[in-house]
Amino acid sequence: MADETTTAHRDARKTRTGLVTSDKMQKTVTVQLQRRLAHAKYGKQVTRSKKVKARNDHDAKAGDTVRIMETRPLAKTVRWRTLEVVQRAR
């Protein structure tokens, strides 16, 4: 019974795909997330971006595209962890 609840709760976590902009920290990477939306008044597509910090368990380097998942606080500013490296930088 507990396993089903844990699995259902874990499936509800947010997952995002973003670009690693910095890997200078020891266990953490900075990931830039981009989203496109229509401007409220004019309807033109605009790009909004946000930088988040993620625990780097998959040896991601700067320029890589990674999939990250929301998790419990791992450090003062780290709230995400890497799931996989989608595409390596060239």
List, for residues 12-28, the tens digit of each pLDDT value: 899 999 999 999 999 99
> Rounded CA gap, 53 and 43, in Å?
31
At 36-74, the pLDDT tens digits run 999 999 999 999 999 999 999 999 999 999 999 999 999
Which pTM was predicted? 0.84
Query: Is 76:51 a contact under the CB 8 Å cutoff?
Result: no
Domain boundaries along the sequence of the chain? 14-87
Q: State whether CATH 2.40.50.140 applies to domain 14-87.
A: yes
From the list 15, 28, 19, the residue with the least C-alpha distance to 85 is 19
